[in-house]
Structure 1
Amino acid sequence: MQSLLEAAENAGAGLPPVEKWNPEHCGVMDLVIRRDGSWWHEGKRITRDRLVKLFARILRKDDDGIHYLVTPVEKQAVTVESAPFVAVRVDATERDGVPVVIFTTNLGDVTEAGPDRPIRVEIDPETGEPEPYVLVRGKLEALIARPVFYELANMTEERDGQLGVASNGEFFALGPSA
């Protein structure tokens, strides 16, 4: 069985090169990826995991901030309420004595936080609640589920008045210390 570190190192292997495809925009698809990670087409939940995973393989977010399903010949905009993935697991390990934080998404993607895959936290202006995200691939992020964020909070250390976690030589602030 593949270790989490190996899975994170091989993340993206076998995925189509959607970042290199530049078809013309063909319209908007009635597809919504909800905040809870569920995928809905024409108002009905897609319950076949294999179909969701297939769509996720050809999903990308462009510089315009819009998410698209992309093939070599088509590009359809889709609606994403928060992030297309949800981080449902976090693990802390080390590589050569350096801390590594690894996330697993609801669709089985594995990503390790670091310089190329940052953790960021937005604060909801209405509720004041943190909305933490981690970059998974390309410009696609995962919303870090609340229980996972609590686990991450248990891994924090304080630096310069900020609580955060270190991973792959980077420090990611999660919020101010008291």
Structure 2
Amino acid sequence: MTSSPGSSFGLEDTLKAILPEGKFAGPLPPVHLWNPEGCGDIGMEIRADGSWWHEGGRIHRERLVKLFSRILRKDEDGVTYLVTPHEKVLVHVEDAPFLAVRVDRTGEPGPDQQLTFTTNLDYQTTAGPDAPIRIETDPETGAPAPYVLVRGRLEAKLTRPVFYELAELAVPAPDGTNRLGVWSRGVFFPLGPMA
């Protein structure tokens, strides 16, 4: 990303906003508070396999991808951006911006257990009231597409092995309907009908 003509900020200021403590382990920047006027399209894309691309070329530097991922924001209109205090650019997301590559269960099986997902970029989210699991079903094939909310409106698509692990944890729905699902932080998330 380049600065707009006439702007008085530099790369150092932008990096301080993105990495306030100078490291990835620090708090995420408050992108929900940033509303820059300028918006551009620089050919940034996140493909369904989780790879990041810029103007048709794959971004191979993992540190750069992680840096960009810290300033991702999906707005109410469904459009995803890279946002700094000074500008924002469109990111074309083919499916979901993250992939859930691991799930860990803690606590006793049932309503009190917690399911924590780790993404391909090392973010963690624990499913519950503020981080739902949802399933979309392909109308033609009937194949499920499972997602979990990571932050804001940004989701991770569950990889096939993670979804299979969830399926092994599935129990009948508490309301007696013909559905199976999983519990996390007191919420029951349906995964699909019983076979």
What's the TM-score, normalizing by structure 2? Answer: 0.82
- Cα deviation digits, residues 4-28 of structure 1 (max 9, x gap): xxxxxxxx96100001111124121
Within the candidate set 125, 130, 135, 1:121 is matched to: 135
Alignment of 1:123-142 (within 5 A): 123-142=137-156
Structure 2: runs of 5 or more not aligned: 1-24
Select the structure with the greater relative contact order (CA < 8 A; seq sep ≥ 6).
Answer: 1
- In structure 2, C-alpha distance between the alignment counterparts of 1:58 and 1:124, rounded to whole Å: 30
Alignment of 1:10-25 (within 5 A): 14-25=27-38
Within the candidate set 165, 169, 177, 2:186 is matched to: 169
What is the CA RMSD across the aligned residues, in angstroms?
1.5
- AA in 2 matched with 1:24: E
- In structure 2, C-alpha distance between the alignment counterparts of 1:64 and 1:100, rounded to whole Å: 31
Alignment of 1:5-84 (within 5 A): 14-84=27-97
2:90 match: secondary structure: strand
The structure with more strand, counted as a fraction of residues: 1
Q: What's the CA shift for 1:127? A: 2.1
Q: What's the CA shift for 1:29? A: 2.2
Q: What's the CA shift for 1:34? A: 0.5
- In structure 1, C-alpha distance between the alignment counterparts of 2:95 and 2:130, rounded to whole Å: 20
- In structure 2, C-alpha distance between the alignment counterparts of 1:153 and 1:13, rounded to whole Å: 34
Q: What's the CA shift for 1:98? A: 1.5
- AA in 2 matched with 1:53: K
Give the structure 2 partner of residue 3 of structure 1: none
Give the structure 2 partner of residue 107 of structure 1: 121
Q: What's the CA shift for 1:68? A: 0.3
Larger Rg: 2
| Structure 1 stretch displaced more, 24-33 or 70-79 | 24-33
